[in-house]
Chain A
Amino acid sequence: MNNLLIAPIILPLLTGMVLIVFQKNIMLQRILSLVALLATIVTSVLLMNQIRDGGIQTLQLGGWEAPYGISLVGDMFSALLLLATSIVSVGCLVYAFSSIGRRQEKLYFYPLFLFLITGVNGSFLTGDLFNLYVCFEVFLVASYVLITVGGAKRQLRESLKYIFTNIIASAFFLIGVAYLYSITGTLNLADLSIRISEIGQDGLITTVAILFLIVFAMKAGLLLYFWLPGSYSVPPTAIAAIFAALLTKVGIYAIFRMFTLVFYHEPQITHLFIGILAAITMILGGLGASGYSDLRKILTYNVIISVGFIMAGLVSLTPAGITGSIYYLIHDILIKAIVFLIGGTIVHLTGTSDLKNISGLIRLHPQLGWMFFIAALSMVGIPPLSGFLGKVFTTQGVFEAGYYWLGIIGLAASLLILYSMIKLFMNAFWGETILSVEEEKGTTKGLLFPIALLTVASVALGVGAEAITGYVAQAAEELLNPNLYIQAVFE
C-alpha cells in the first residue's frame, strides 16, 4: 500500500475543483494550478525513487483487495511518463499564462487543463481496465472543451469531427471491455493477465486483443490518424502543444500496457500486426510531413511518425527495443511540446501558418530559431540530444528481433523527419527577413521562457541520459516480465 500513488491524480483534480469555486480570481488560478503541477513533479520524482528501491508500488483504494477493488499500480514505466507529463504540463501552463487571453482564463481554462492532466495521470496509474476507460473519458471530455477554447469557426468544425471519432472509439473500448469480462470474468489487469495465461490466448481472445488495438490505435494515431492533423492544428498553441505531447502518448501507453501485460502470448499475430500498422503509419506520416508546406500540418504529421517509431520497439519485444521505446516516448513528450510551442509562436508572430509567407525570422528572434534547431536535431536523433538513444536502442531491438523491414522503414522515416524539419527551419528562419518588428502581429514576451524551460529539460535528458539509464532499464524489465506486475498487485 502506498498512498503516494493517488497524489498525481488527486492534486490536479482537487485544485481544479477549488479553482471552479474561485473562478473570478485569475491570479489565484494561475498560482494554484502552477503549484499543483509543480507538486505533481515532486511526487512523481518521489514515486520513481520509491519504485527503484522497493519495486512496483500498489494502492488498493478503500482497502478492498486486488481483483475486487480498484487498484492503482505504479511501475517505473508509469512513473517516468508521469514525470515527463508533469514537466510538459508546467511548460504549457506557463506558456498559456501569457497567450491564452483573459476571457478564456475566466471561462474555466485552468480547471479544464488540470482535469486533462488528472485523466492522463490516472490512465498511467490505474491497474484496472474499466478505470482506464474512465480516465480516458476524463481527459477526453476535458479535451473536447479545450479544443474549442476561443470558439473560432474552424475550431468548432474540427472539434465536431474529433469528438465523434473519439466517442465511437470509446464505444468500441466498452465493447472490448464487455467481451473481455464475459470471457474472463475480471477487469483487473493483473488478474486478466493471470486468467489469460491460464486458459491460453485462443482465437477469441486474440480477436478481442485486436479490438483493443483498434481502439487504442485510434487514440494514439497509429494508422487511424485521419482525425489528428485537423484537430491538432486548430486549438490555441498551449492547448495544441499539450495535446500533441500527451494525448496520443496515452494511447501508446495503453497499447504498451495491454500488449506486454495481458495479450503477450501470440506476438506472431498481434505484435506483427502492430508492426505492419507502425510501418504504414511511419510511411504515410513521413509523406505527409514532407509533402505539406503548412507549418502546423508538418508538425502534426511528425507526431504521427513518432507514434509509428515508438511502436516499433514494442513489436520487437526485446529488452533493447523496449528500452529504446521508453527513451523515445519520454523524449517525444518533451520535444513535441517544444516544437508545437515554437510553431504556435511563429504563427502568433507572423499571423500565418503557410511556410511560403514566413521567412527570415532568425534575425529578429535568434533564441526561437536556435531552440527550434536543437529540437529538430533532437527529433532526428543526432547525438548527444535526447532522440539519439531512443533511436539507437529501438533500431537495435528491431534488428535483433529480425524485423529488418521495420527497422529500415524507421530509419527512412527519420530521414523524412530530417527533411521536413530542415525544410521548416530553412523556410521560416533563414532567408530574407520580410517582417520588421513593427509589422509583427504579436510579441514573444513571456512566450520564450516556457519553451526555453522545456528545451533545457530535453537537452538535459539527452546529455544526462546516464542518470536515468537505471530507471529506464528497470521500466523495460518490468514491462517484459509481467509476473513482477502481478506479484506486486497480489502481494
Chain B
Amino acid sequence: MKPNDVILKSVTRVAAVIISTFSIYLFMNGHHHPGGGFIGGLSTASAIVLLYLSFGIEKVRENIRVDFKKLAAIGVLIALVTGMAGVVFGKPFLSQAFGYYDLPIFGNTELASALIFDTGVALAVIGTAVNIILSISEDR
C-alpha cells in the first residue's frame, strides 16, 4: 500500500528550504553570537533527513550525489588542516587569526580563520548525522 503523504511532501518542499536558510544564518551568526558550525551543520542535516523521510532514500540519493561518509571525513580534514595552519606560523595548534578587510558589497568585514574551521565542523556534522540516519534505515 502506498502511504498518503501529500501533506508531508508539500510541507517538506517549503520547510527544507527554510531550514537550510536558517542553518546558514545560524552558521554565520556563530562568530559573535550563539550559533556556529556545529548547530548550523546539525540543522542542515535535519533538512536533509527530512527530505529522506518524505521522498525516500533512493530519490534523494539521485538528486544529492554526495557520499556523506567522505563529506564527514573531508570536514574533519578541513578543520584539522586549519588547526595545523597555526603550527606553521609557530603558534599553538588550533590558534586562530582574524583581520578586517574592505570587501566590495559587504564593506568593512571581519574575516576569521575560525570560519574555515567551522566550515569543517559543519561538514563533519552534516556527514556524520546523515550517515547515522542512513545506516540505521538501510537494509530492511
Contacts and interface: CB of A to CB of B under 8 A. Distances in A.
A18 B77 contact: yes
A3 B84 CA distance: 10
Contacts of A1: 92
B76 interface: yes
Contacts of B69: 20, 23
Chain A contact residues, majority secondary structure? helix
A14 B83 CA distance: 12
Contacts of B80: 10, 13-14, 17
Given A20-B69, A20-B70, A21-B70, A3 B76 contact: no
Interface residues of B, number: 18
A415 interface: no
Given A20-B69, A20-B73, A59 B84 contact: no
Contacts, number: 46
A54 interface: no
Q: How large is the interface on A (under 10, 10 to 19, 20 to 34, 35 or more residues)?
A: 10 to 19
A21 B78 CA distance: 13
B36 to A, nearest CB: 15
A63 B76 contact: no
A165 B94 CA distance: 34
Given A14-B80, A17-B80, A3 B70 contact: no
Chain B contact residues, majority secondary structure? helix
Given A14-B77, A17-B77, A18-B77, A61 B84 contact: no
Nearest to A18: B77
B21 interface: no
B92 A21 contact: no
Contacts of B74: 17, 21
Contacts of B76: 13, 17
B73 A3 contact: no
Which among B74, B76, B94, B96 has the highest number of chain A CB atoms within 10 Å?
B94
B9 to A, nearest CB: 33
B92 A17 contact: no
Interface in B78-101: 80, 83-84, 86-87, 91-96
A28 to B, nearest CB: 14
Contacts of A62: 86, 92-96
A17 B124 CA distance: 11
Given A10-B80, A10-B84, A17-B80, A59 B92 contact: yes
A3 B92 contact: yes
A86 interface: no
A366 to B, nearest CB: 45
Interface of B: 69-70, 72-74, 76-77, 80, 83-84, 86-87, 91-96
